[in-house]
Every structure is written in structure tokens, then in C-alpha cells.
């Protein structure tokens, strides 16, 4: 039986529509999981959702409201979606407490960090010492590996990918600044931006800043979805 992987959806607060690009559920299904799409609900319902899941995938999207990491908004911040933020922070915390596998992509890795008490660069172009050294919003096809990412030896991420150096795509202007509780950085670009985090207190709590769902034909990238499903399958037994 396929393990059930909950996947968070983007949300249009003007129309009330929930939506999701196909790469997320394709990656899960190709890897042996059963995608379960999670619309934006009241955050009080997070526990009711999590108990029905074997794994959680936190997807990309808009900026995270800086009030969730106790900051005022930077002039360069983009659109935020507080209803989505509230639900996903609650989902992430519930999953972490219950030992449910969690995988975050782009906004998802940032959300994981905020949920665990960490914070973000609201705009890496102006908020970091090395801002502007690398382009992190690529003028290239979405599937193209635009810059190098170096992965820390001994990390779960390196074990999953089977290499210490990859080329990843890049579409972001926010990034993890200070890792939250039990989290540590496991990958960086040459300008020092954190590209991945994981937990040393959880069997599978991993997030990446790039978009592997846009690179599914790359054998290295599909390994991330396979690892999520494999760990979720252990719980589903």
C-alpha cells in the first residue's frame, strides 16, 4: 500500500482557490507515495490532518510573513499569505512532534525553519554581506541547474543524493538565516546562502531551497522524493 503524503497547496485569498503545480504530486507518485492535497484550512485543524498522514511535503510559494519570526517587514518583501503561513507552521510542528517525515521545498524549507524558531533573510540581495554575488532568481528554464550547491559530508542529504556537489535551479529572494531548534545547515552556495537544513532530533526532517519538482528527469533530484516516501512507508506499516 502506498504511504499517504500530504502536500500543501498555494492559496489565492481573493478567489479562495487552492492550487498546486503538478511536479510536486508527480514526484510523490513516481516515488511510490499517494499524494493527498491539503487546502488552506483553519490552523486549529492541523492535528486532525497530520494524524491521517504518513509524510508531509511543504511546497513553494510566496514570502513568509516576518511577524512569524518577530520582525517588521523589509521594503523588499513580496506578497505574503498569513492564512497559509499559520496552517503550515501548525502542520510542521505537529509532524515534527509526532516523528512524521517532513520534506520542504523552497518556501517549504524556510517555513520549517520558522516553525522551529529560526529566522530568515527577508531579502538576500540587501540583507546579507554577500548579497548580489550570485543570482538566485535564474533567467533560465525552470529545469536547468543554474548554480552549484555544496552538500555537507555526513549529512542525511548527502547520503540521499550520493554526492557532495550538485547543480540546482534557483527562484528565491528569501533564505534561512539562523537555523531553528535542532536544525543545522547541510548545504550552501558559494556566496554562503544556506541551501538545505535538516534536524538532528528527527528521523527525516529535511528541506532544500531549490525546486527538485521542476527537475524530475534528473535522477539525483527524484532521490529526494524517494527518500520522503521510503521514510513515510516505515510509518505506514
* Catalytic (active site) residue 211: yes
Comparing CA positions, the residue from 77, 104, 89, 106 lying closest to residue 41 is 89
- pTM for the full model? 0.96
The per-residue pLDDT for 38 is 96
Q: Across the chain, what does the average pLDDT equal?
A: 94
The per-residue pLDDT for 73 is 95
CB-based contact 56:95 (threshold 8 Å): yes
The per-residue pLDDT for 125 is 87
* Catalytic (active site) residue 217: no
Catalytic residue among 94, 96, 198, 213: 213
The phi and psi torsions of 23 (rounded to 5 degrees) equal: -60, -30
Catalytic residue among 106, 136, 172, 195: 106
Tens of pLDDT, residue by residue over 112-152, are 999 999 999 999 988 776 556 788 999 999 999 999 999 99
The residues of the chain scoring below 50 in pLDDT are: none
* Catalytic (active site) residue 97: no
CA–CA separation, 159 and 142 (whole Å): 25
Catalytic residue among 147, 172, 173, 211: 211
CA–CA separation, 76 and 96 (whole Å): 31
Enumerate the β-bridge partners of residue 148.
167
Comparing CA positions, the residue from 92, 127, 97 lying closest to residue 107 is 92
The per-residue pLDDT for 130 is 58
- Domains of the chain by range and CATH? 4-236 (3.40.50.880)
The phi and psi torsions of 208 (rounded to 5 degrees) equal: -125, 150
CB-based contact 207:196 (threshold 8 Å): yes
Amino acid at each position: 500500500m502506498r504511504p499517504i503524503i500530504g502536500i500543501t497547496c498555494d492559496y489565492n485569498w481573493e478567489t479562495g482557490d487552492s492550487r498546486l503545480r503538478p511536479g510536486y504530486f508527480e514526484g510523490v507518485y513516481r516515488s511510490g507515495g499517494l499524494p493527498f492535497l491539503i487546502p488552506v484550512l483553519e490552523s486549529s485543524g492541523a492535528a486532525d490532518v497530520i494524524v491521517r498522514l504518513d509524510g508531509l511535503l511543504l511546497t513553494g510559494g510566496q514570502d513568509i510573513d516576518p511577524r512569524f519570526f518577530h520582525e517588521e517587514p523589509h521594503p523588499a518583501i513580496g506578497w505574503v499569505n498569513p492564512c497559509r503561513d499559520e496552517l503550515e507552521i501548525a502542520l510542521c510542528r505537529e509532524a515534527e512532534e509526532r516523528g512524521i517525515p517532513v520534506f520542504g521545498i523552497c518556501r517549504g524549507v524556510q517555513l520549517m525553519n520558522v516553525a522551529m524558531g529560526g529566522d530568515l533573510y527577508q531579502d538576500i540581495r540587501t540583507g546579507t554581506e554577500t548579497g548580489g554575488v550570485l543570482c538566485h532568481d535564474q533567467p533560465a528554464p525552470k529545469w536547468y541547474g543554474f548554480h552549484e550547491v555544496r552538500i555537507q559530508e555526513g549529512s542525511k542529504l548527502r547520503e540521499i543524493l550520493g554526492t557532495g556537489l550538485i547543480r540546482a535551479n534557483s527562484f528565491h529572494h528569501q533564505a534561512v538565516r539562523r537555523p531553528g531548534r535542532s536544525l543545522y545547515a547541510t548545504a550552501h552556495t558559494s556566496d554562503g546562502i544556506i541551501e538545505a537544513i535538516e534536524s538532528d532530533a528527527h528521523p527525516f526532517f529535511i528541506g532544500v531551497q531549490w525546486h527538485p519538482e521542476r527537475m524530475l528527469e534528473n535522477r539525483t533530484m527524484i532521490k529526494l522524493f524517494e527518500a520522503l516516501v521510503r521514510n513515510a512507508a516505515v510509518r505506514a506499516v
